[in-house]
Amino acid sequence: MRKIFFLLFAAALLAACHQPEYVAPTADRQGITSLTAYFTFGPYEGQEMGRLEIDDPNVDRYEIPIPWYFPEASDDITTPYMTKVRVRASLQANCKIEPALTVLDLTEENHFTYTDATGERRSIIITGKRVKSNKCEIITFALTQPVMSGMVDKVSRKVSLITPKDLSAATASVTVSAHASISPDPTQPHNYNDGFTFTVTADDGETKAEYLVVKDIPEKIDYGVNATSLETLFNMSPETGMGLPGYQAVANVSMGVLDSDLIVNVGDGSTPRYYNKVVGTYGGEIKIGSAVPTGAIASDEQDHLLICNLAEAGETFTIWKTASVKEAPVELISFVNEEDIQLGLEMKVIGNVEDEASISVTYPGLEGVTQSGRFRSIHIVGGQVVSNELMSVEGQGFFWGSGPSGSTCVPAASAQNDAGWYSCAYSDNLLTWFRPDLTIGKQLNGYGDGTDDVEGGGTYVDSNTSPNNLDTKGFNNARYLVLFVSNHFPKWWPGPQLYMYDITSGSLQGENIWNSPGLVFSKPYMYNLQYNTGGHDGNGACGDVILAPSADGYMLYVYYYDHYSQMIGGYSLDCIKR
């Protein structure tokens, strides 16, 4: 295990007390290229507060823009933090600022002497200014009467309503950029049959954007996702941002998607909660009915949510399904767990449970007693369960431990249940494709070269991490696998990691998880995102990752949840031809 100590950073701070700041080359041209402000106290201590990119090398007054609210989507103003801000400069070699930059009051003008690489000196002023956001986007658009989700294209600023229905007097619910406004009022009836234009005005009151809402069918690319469409949705602390348990709470987190909502299940028997899947705002608790959410939840490719209980040996295991957060789930399948270990800690589904789908449910190992390599494979055809089989990869020498951190999930490669399964476990850190006969078809190594150089191919998956969160889904004539590596010891390197692969051929490609030819995108170093880097004395080293295609077939969402590291967020991709 690797501990990261910032000794060089501490030494630099000590030196800064005795001599002017002298910065190694960080830019291609001479001068100050940027100034970055950081919080020095409060819940966001150490995070970037604002940044000024400098294009004119001769300017004498530098005003760092500080967002009016932080986080941007919150109502928390930044005024209390302005008087104690750490400021750092990006300088060309042999340039210096005197006195050294430390903690500044950005409500005042701070005077310094800047010396360039030629020795020329001049007086400069560094200050700050709170600025309101200039973002003016439509984030989500959904008709409330009739009920329908719109497809938002931020590039063309067009919202497509994919329907033949009459929309001459439809009402809508719209999410716009934080603190922005929209007019006319979308909750009032409007005629969308021939197109209707809304104006979104940013919080600064000046920046505006017009969006055309129209009945339309955007043209798709022929295959898979448009990789250039990758966009960050949100990333936040589950506890402070979404009201979910902190990292010391015992949990077994899992997620699913229903229409416009991200569903989160803590796994402690409490009712799952739903959040706006684009911005992460809280919506409420789902209608649970008689379902028992002590196990995992999962969602298929057509907005159906599955909920299961956690059944010990000899107990009845049940999977319920629902198509709405407002409809009580109904039973899909129920049977007695005849194995000697519990069932239901992990569950994954690919396909459409109202048509054809493959559901996988994992038997975790038993703490201090035994490991496991068993799972249930449930095949659905025509909306009915046609098979429910006990599967085992123990004969291949593949095992996982007790849950949640030491266990794993085993998502199927296809809804037809004929292309095998995928898995990766803490014990060996090998991303594995099992053929339909459960023999090992291909494995990708999770270890790097033993260094901390991520960009150069360093250690990605090690004994500090749990590479056991996977999911598979079909999308636009392709099939995808996502792997999320959660951090078992948050205060140690490398932090959470996210990888998405094209698995249409069934098999994995290449030799390593981070440079596979099948990679669609990767986030191998999420350490720089906000997450818990505190102690590792909690109880919840668990996580989840899901792929969620939109029912209209245009969007693919990726969500990750690292409970121990206190990080939850998502990305979106689309298949729109541009």
85-91 vs 103-104, strand pairing mode: antiparallel
**Amino acid (1-letter code) at residue 47:** Q
CATH number for region 226-574: 2.120.10.30
Map tokens 């922005």 to a residue. 180
Residue 311 banded pLDDT, cuts 50, 70, 90: very high
Tell how many helices (H) and how many strands (E) occur in the chain.
Answer: 2, 40
- Report d(CA 337, CA 316) in Å as an integer: 6
Pairwise CA distance, residues 51 & 43, whole Å: 19
Q: What is the pLDDT of residue 188?
A: 95
Asked if 180 and 115 count as a contact pair (C-beta separation under 8 A), the reply is: no
pLDDT at 260 (0 to 100): 83
What is each CA distance from 519 to 444, 480, 487, 524, in whole angstroms? 12, 10, 21, 12
Write out the two tokens for 237. 């602390």
126, 102 contact by CB (below 8 A):
no
Give the percent of the chain with pLDDT over 90: 61
pLDDT on residue 531: 64
Give the chain's mean pLDDT. Answer: 87
Quote the CA–CA distance of 513 and 522 in Å, as a whole number: 10
Res 319 pLDDT > 70: yes
Tokens standing for residue 481: 């696998």
Architecture in CATH for domain 138-215: Sandwich (2.60)
pLDDT of 19 higher than 60: no
224-249 pLDDT tens trace: 999 999 988 888 889 888 999 988 88
Across-strand partners of 282? 275
pTM of the complete model: 0.76
pLDDT over 60 (residue 452): no
More confident residue, 147 or 469: 469
CB-based contacts of 23: which residues, under 8 Å, 6+ apart? 89, 90, 91, 93, 95, 96
Domain pair 138-215 / 226-574, same fold: no
Domain ranges of the chain: 7-131, 138-215, 226-574
| Burial of 176 (C-beta count, 10 Å sphere; 0-12/13-18/19+) | buried
Strand partners, 130: 66
Q: What is the DSSP letter of 301?
A: T
Q: What percent of the chain has pLDDT over 70?
A: 88
